[in-house]
Structure 1
């Protein structure tokens, strides 16, 4: 039950070891002219690794993260790390922000600055990510995580709160709302056409709901097929053999960076902060959480628990929106629905002002 203050303090030998390993990266060759068609471009990753080893300042990033109050507590046998940024407004609504994959709590630091006047912001690290490690047993998927978040908010003394997330975070938030409708005032999620298609690929019966004769449904089916053919390689590995990829992720920082940087390059539409990406990569590296984060996807792929439909108000912010998203999401008739012409999988990093504005509008009507 104890909630303990937490400060990030990576030992200097670990920082020095990272630089040595980056300098000793054994680079593969690359076929002429393939670019990004078969994975991360060699030129791109070499440049990013050189910046991580040379210009990037972990101690400065660590100090910035430590400006946010951080804590740990044990729930259901698992250490849970979280930020808890209280608003100066006594009437502020508590709001839980849950990150996805491949990300970490640091994704939300810029967004927090836009929210802290209106919300008490709680940002947990998913089990197996960053400082919510180590994971001591199997079974930590979205449902069990949702129950942990409910207990966390109870321990913090919040009787009414909102939940928000994207990717895995959207699933966890929806499960929290489905399990704790007595206390959750609303659930808000972000998505985009590619994320919606990827999610729909794994939802039972989704393809059967779409009519190939309908042009919009046909486009949605094509997006799902494209994801299966060209975008699902990382999931195929992590959903089946996370231990095998874990040896690479835990031993090679260049390998860890390439594994997550591909998603940031392919899944974003607007520019993101390279320093923020490297902070997230550093959190994976210093905590050795590459393998446990990969296992989270395995656990969910082998879980039968996807959560009950929330019985609370729902809101969606859709980035780079097109007509396929609403078909794939299939929201209830009464829903807060906002579409933006730009943005991608990481709107908290790509478009924090737009996302913050939508969160204020949605939850502002629920206080």
Structure 2
């Protein structure tokens, strides 16, 4: 093996099957260059409305960018990542970055935690101390996200990612383990659940991703009709980012790679729309600290992975992907937690049909799409409740 250094990391390049430590040490010059870009932002005109219906408001983004350029401390996030056991390994020709946090408990069982878009491994930092007393934690960066490798050919879709995650757990020596995810993480987790012989013995989802059938739509009760209306509003009004990344990720990628303010607006736009319960949407900082929001943006900016992350949506659309739970029942023991601010909420009776071995179903009193960031205590309790009976 040889030692390689790039502009953002000092690490040993992994050989096939090696698992090697990974340490972040971003040069001061790179942070200074980012600060200069932020301070030189060319701003658009202000929105013509008094709300967020046209996207993030100009004053909101100017405040974020000013804080990012003048007061934000990346070294705090860097220390947190370096303290959580960063590693890399090569699977199926791609470098995979992951956190590996070992529990002191002698009977600890591993949990694989998978983030979504525009998430990162930092999305789960609030869960670590809440779970590590009982569980080892393996937290990988999706292909093309964060400090994982950027695919150079098509094909790194959710199913291939699921196979890579199963290979990762085997490489770490785990033959019996659990998995948890929301958003794209829920999709990858479901795909692992239908792979044979992986060692996965139970999963927890904080976003069930199957679509209701036409018959379920026709038979919907009052609560389910509200769920359908919320999902329709999301698809019609709030999903422009997903439509763009599903069809032309390269087009938006030039802006995301070149402009940190543009990247911040792209990510903040979704976060403001789906954070908190429905009456709290539009004000994500009620639940997620501004520095934590910027930490997540930095894990797209520093490694230059905003475009490669966007391509995961293109992979899904190009492959006409459908979740396993839409293709047939998923028999693995499953827990599902429904956040009240989630636009993709599902009812108990819909959920039971997809997961016949449903060991936990709960509708929480607060929280939105980014459950691990918004409500880590509630989510950790749900994870423990789900997996406690399966240990």
Q: Which TM bucket (shorter chain)? A: over 0.9
* Residue of structure 1 in register with 2:100 after alignment: 84
**Deviation digits for residues 195-231 of structure 1 (CA, Å, limit 9, x no counterpart):** x6xx55xx4x734531167433433332232122201
Once the two structures are superposed, residues 66-123 of structure 1 have per-residue CA deviations (whole angstroms, 9 ceiling, x without a partner) of: 1111111111111100000000012001000000011111111111111111100000
Return the alpha-carbon distance in structure 2 between the equivalents of residues 250 and 283 of structure 1. 12
Aligned residue for 2:337?
A: 317
Whether 1:3 and 2:9 are equivalent positions in the alignment is no
Cα distance in 1 for residues equivalent to 2:186 and 2:153: 23
Corresponding residue of 1:67: 83
Of stretches 211-220 and 27-36 in structure 1, the one that deviates more from structure 2 is 211-220
Match of 2:355 in 1: 332
User: 1:111 aligns to what?
Assistant: 127
Unaligned runs of 5+ residues in structure 2 are 1-16, 277-285
Residue 328 of structure 1 and its aligned partner are, at CA, apart by: 5.6
Number of the residue aligned with 1:359: 383
SS of the residue 2:144 aligns to: coil
Superposed CA offset, 1:282-314 (max 9, x none) = 111001111011001110122245464533100
C-alpha contact 1:238 1:294 (8 A) present in aligned 2: yes
- 1:130 maps onto 2:146 in alignment: yes
Q: Separation in 2 of the partners of 1:4 and 1:182?
A: 23
Q: Distance in 1 between matches of 2:345 and 2:251?
A: 35
The 2-side partners of 1:227 and 1:124 are apart by: 28
Distance in 2 between residues matched to 1:94 and 1:60, nearest whole Å: 27
Tell me the TM-score normalised to structure 2 length: 0.87
Q: What's the secondary structure of 2:302's corresponding residue?
A: helix
- 1:26 pairs with one of 33, 38, 42: 42
Does residue 240 of the first structure (1) align with residue 237 of the second (2)? no
Whole-Å separation in 1 of the counterparts to 2:188 and 2:240 = 23
Distance, in Å, in 1 between the alignment partners of 2:259 and 2:162 is 32
Tell me, in whole angstroms, the C-alpha distance in 2 between the residues paired with 1:173 and 1:238.
22
Deviates more, 1:53-62 or 1:143-152: 53-62
Choose which of 241, 255, 259 in structure 2 pairs with 1:252. 259
- Cross-structure match for 2:194: 178
Structure having greater relative contact order (Cα 8 Å, sep ≥ 6): 1
| Contact 2:179-2:200 within 8 A present in 1 as well | yes
- What residue ranges of structure 1 are gaps of 5+ in the alignment? none
Shift in Å, 1:257? 0.6
Distance in 1 (CA, whole Å) between partners of 2:345 and 2:300 is 33
Partner of residue 47 from structure 1, selected from 39, 52, 63 = 63
